[in-house]
Amino acid sequence: MPSRDPRVVIIGAGVAGITAGVVLEQAGFENFVIVEKGSDVGGVWHWNRYPGLTCDVPSQIYQFGFAPKPDWSQIWAEGSEIQRYHREVVEAFGLTDRLMLDSEVTDAVHGADGWTVTLAGGRELRADFVIAATGVLHHPFTPDIPGVERFTGSVVHTARWDEAIETVGKRIAVIGSGSTGVQVVSALQPQAAALTQFARTPQWVLWAPMGLRQPRLLAKLLAAAPAAHQRLYSTLLWGSGILADIALKPTWRRRAAQRLARWSLTTQVRDRELRTALTPDYEPFCKRQVLSGTYHRAIGADNAALVTEPISEITETGLRTADGTHHDLDVIVFATGFHPHNYMRPMNLRGRDGLSIDEAWAKGPRAYRMTAIPGFPNLFTVLGPNSPTGSISLQYSAELTARYITQWLERFRDGEFETVEVTEEATVRFNDSVAEAMGPTVWNTGCNSWYFTEENTIDLWPFDRKTMTALLTAPDDRDFLIGHKDGNLR
Ligand code: NAP
């Protein structure tokens, strides 16, 4: 059998792209590049720099299994430290030379000679495989509120924070009450002249001591004993199974966690009127659960206010709500989230016979086991559709998927096939099982969240980690069309 090193283009240098790069490197592949449109690595941790940005997953588990970091400064690290960690991992694993930063992919087209990947500016890269590690929370969403162009103060979206904006001593509006809104309110309130949060839907906010420092002694112990560090990581990974358990099954464990969220509200907010305004009418954990140790205090402060009245327009000097009240403002912060199901779009991605991703996903994003799409030969996604946001470690999921893809690359290297493409039947079967498993999940208990696609499916992983591992340990050839040199599919 001939041996050839496949040419691979990885698109994106966030958690998924870095993982794919490290796994390919470790498997001995040498002919790959990581193309990133941003000016640095880290994905969401590069793009998001808003005040208060902290990861709500403890850092000793929010890290790559292959790169445990002993000395996180906080139990829940801040965004800038996480971004630096990603940069350090890229350097430590020798990926710097493979990186193409400031390089946006505009087109990726499959033809008789494999993939042609075109960058903004026109440069073309040829590849045998494309790995799309393009992320989910990537394109900021700003609602179309009439009059925004008239506002004479500053306007900013949290995901494109502008360091030049003055917030100290200003009258600030924060629109949105998700994880981001809660963090930015907590960070800006202490030094604002006035801070008003416009919350269309209240969120359950589970209390957690997010500002806790990681003890220095722990860092020293973990650095001195890497095996113990690895064991800690595995134990945390195992322990985090409770998150999937809470999300997937309506057991006493879910009810206990939900009680904790309700308790957080009642014990933290004494003002009855504010508490009523902050009380959601859906179950805790239905939306992505928000964690904070400071939000309830911040929104209850004398210089803070919560407004649940819908916004009707933005004026030159502030914004007006539907009840006619005008709120005078200096700064408007949109913490209004993302277009969460865009994945590779707006890239012109075309697979077999010119099929575009927009056509293939006319009824919403769907993939086989998060990673393969019918009609798109030799293309895989890492952290693609149905990835487990909030229920299973994303780093674990990305590494598992990258190792799965690597098995196909190894077979290609050995000359076993030319093209591999998942079948429509296998994809339908997988998606049917996903839809069925979504039934008893907490995400399906009657709230409106970014997890829902426009077609009303839930874009999450409804199984536990064991099932994920089983589904992605080794490819099942029966689910794929495998193309050979003679043109036959076998
Ligand atoms: P989000 O959860 O989608 O929240 C967007 C907010 O904007 C919601 O409160 C939404 O209200 C509101 N909104 C949207 N359009 C509006 C409009 N026209 N008028 C008024 N309000 C409007 O976005 P996010 O807070 O940026 O969080 C997104 C995800 O990012 C999180 O769920 C989490 O997965 C991730 N994240 C993680 C961390 C972390 O620490 N790891 C931190 C930040 C974000 P409705 O609820 O009514 O739609």
Q: Which residue minimizes the CA distance to atom 28 of ligand 1?
A: 337
Alpha-carbon span 368 to 361, nearest angstrom: 13
pLDDT value of position 335: 98
Phi, psi of 330 (to 5 degrees): -105, -30
Q: Could you tell me the pLDDT band of residue 211, with boundaries at 50, 70 and 90? A: very high
Which residue type is seen at 25? E
Q: What is the per-residue pLDDT for 386?
A: 97
Q: How far is the CA of 185 from the centre of ligand 1 (A)?
A: 13
* Nearest residue (CA) to ligand 1, atom 10: 176
Tell which atom from ligand 1 comes closest to the C-alpha of 54: 40
Distance, CA of 472 to CA of 408 (rounded, Å) = 12
Mean pLDDT value of segment 193-206: 97
Q: What is the pLDDT of residues 342-353, one digit of tens each?
A: 899 999 999 999
Q: Residues 252-258: what's their mean pLDDT?
A: 97
Alpha carbon of 394 to ligand 1 centroid (Å) = 19
The rounded percent of the chain whose pLDDT value lies above 70 is 99
CATH superfamily of 148-214+245-334: FAD/NAD(P)-binding domain (3.50.50.60)
Pocket test for ligand 1, best of 179, 278, 338, 341 (most atoms within 8 A of CB): 179
Q: Is the peptide bond before 346 cis (omega within 30 degrees of 0)?
A: yes
- Checking if the pLDDT of 3 tops 80, the result is no
Predicted local distance difference test score (pLDDT) of residue 490: 67
CATH topology of domain 8-39+101-139+339-483: FAD/NAD(P)-binding domain (3.50.50)
Which residue from 144, 160, 180, 291 has its CB within 8 A of the most atoms of ligand 1, so it is best to mutate?
Answer: 180
What is the distance in A from the centroid of ligand 1 to the CA of 334? 10
Mutate which of 59, 177, 243 for ligand 1? The one with the most ligand atoms within 8 Å of its CB, which is: 177
Which range, of 272-276, 418-422, 427-431, 486-490, averages the lowest pLDDT? 486-490
pLDDT at 2: 55
Would you state the pLDDT for residue 487? 72
pLDDT at 151 over 70: yes
Q: Where in the chain is the domain with CATH 3.50.50.60?
A: 8-39+101-139+339-483, 148-214+245-334
Residue 472's nearest CA partner among 390, 392, 417 is 392
Rounded mean pLDDT of the chain? 96
Q: Are strands 311-314 and 205-207 parallel, antiparallel or unpaired?
A: unpaired
CA-based nearest residue to 419, from 371, 374, 470: 374
| Cα–Cα dist 373/162, whole Å | 37
Q: What's the CA-to-centroid distance between 266 and ligand 1, angstroms?
A: 23
- DSSP per-residue codes, 343-355: TTTTSEEE-GGG-
Query: In this predicted model, what pLDDT tens digit does every residue of 294-307 receive, in sequence order?
Result: 999 999 999 999 99
Distance 178 CA to ligand 1 centre (A): 4
Which protein residues are within 6 Å of ligand 1, measured from CB? 54-57, 137, 143, 175-181, 183, 198, 200-201, 288, 311, 335-337, 389, 448, 450
Give dist(CA 383, CA 401) in Å, integer.
8
Write out pLDDT tens, residues 88-140. Answer: 999 999 999 999 999 999 999 999 999 999 999 999 999 999 999 999 898 99
Compute CA 462 distance to the chain's CA centroid, rounded to the nearest angstrom: 16
Nearest alpha carbon, ligand 1 atom 2 = 178
Sorting pLDDT into bands at 50, 70 and 90, what band is 31? Answer: very high
